[in-house]
Structure 1
């Protein structure tokens, strides 16, 4: 069975919504490498529609431009991209498709498909939350920023069941951001 690894920017007070509004002062090459590690090594990327729209609006152009991140852009373009959306979509980025059917059933089937690597996720808050609740997420990579945003959607909102996690690794970047890797127990 393939693993699903989700990476998220998160504030000290647990906010994951709209990181572009608060995370940029803490961005560094260390953080970029940590975020891209899971994405660049995956042959399949699972994304919510908003995250997909953001990625599709940036990465194809970066690949074409041939700059320093063109290799990463090519890896993302070559990966199978599965988008979770309740509405039909037309895709312009190669290797993109809509997840069909019930999320839990479809992702369970996806995990059982053959593949050379893990399935990566970036952002896509509601999808991550649903997969955590369903016990389908295997690893959570959090980039904890030293800022209390104080408003916005949190990763762990009110729910019925605890989510037990096991810390696998922790690293503190020069900017004060902590890269915490948890396995879902």
Structure 2
């Protein structure tokens, strides 16, 4: 079964909205490798409609222009793109198709398709929330930026259900961004301060 990896740029205070307004000062070669490892190496991109429309507007032109990002733009163009949307696609960006049917059933079928590559989700926060709730997300990759934005939509909203996760890996990049990978986990066991205080420094002395 293929893994689904979702990659998000996120601030210290949990903001994921409009990363283009605060994220670029922290983009380095190390972050470029992190993005390529998830997005550039995927054999399928699973995207929400708003993210897809933004990508389809920007990346084909960048590929045609032949600038420094043309190689990555071509990668995205060559990759299969599956879009979660109720509206038909305009067909302007090659290798794009609309996900048909129930989200959980269709994504499960996508994961069961043959092949050794992974499925990547870039941005598409509403989709990421749905995949987490359905237990279909194998790896939540958060690139945590050393900035508190102070406003904007957050990945985990007030009033949402708790989501237990297990840390799979952590790496600090050169400009202070922390590259975190989380996988699904069982709910933590109940505990209280009485359980925790034995772990305080000097508690055994």
> Common fold, TM-score beyond 0.5?
yes
| Alignment correspondent of 2:89 | 89
Q: Where do 4+ consecutive residues of structure 1 move more than 3 Å? A: none
Gaps of 5+ in 2: 186-205
Across the aligned residues of Structure 1 and Structure 2, the Cα RMSD in angstroms comes to: 1.4
**Aligned ranges 1:11-160 → 2 under 5 Å:** 11-157=11-157, 158-160=159-161
More displaced 10-residue stretch of structure 1: 26-35 or 8-17: 26-35
Q: Alpha-carbon deviation of 1:19?
A: 0.8
Q: Alpha-carbon deviation of 1:58?
A: 2.0
Structure with max Cα Rg: 2
Gaps of 5+ in 1: none
SS of equivalent residue, structure 2 residue 121: strand
Q: Alpha-carbon deviation of 1:98?
A: 0.9
| Alignment correspondent of 2:175 | 175
Q: Alpha-carbon deviation of 1:173?
A: 1.8
Q: 1 CA distance for matches of 2:55 and 2:71?
A: 15
Q: 1 CA distance for matches of 2:122 and 2:129?
A: 12
Q: Alpha-carbon deviation of 1:146?
A: 1.1
More displaced 10-residue stretch of structure 1: 75-84 or 165-174: 165-174
Report the TM-score, using the length of structure 2 for normalisation: 0.84
Equivalent pairs counted in the alignment come to 184
Cα deviation digits, residues 120-155 of structure 1 (max 9, x gap): 111000000000000000001111011111221111
SS of equivalent residue, structure 2 residue 179: strand
Greater relative contact order (Cα 8 A, min sep 6): structure 1 or 2? 1
Q: 2 CA distance for matches of 1:2 and 1:174?
A: 31
Report the TM-score, using the length of structure 1 for normalisation: 0.93
SS of equivalent residue, structure 1 residue 58: helix
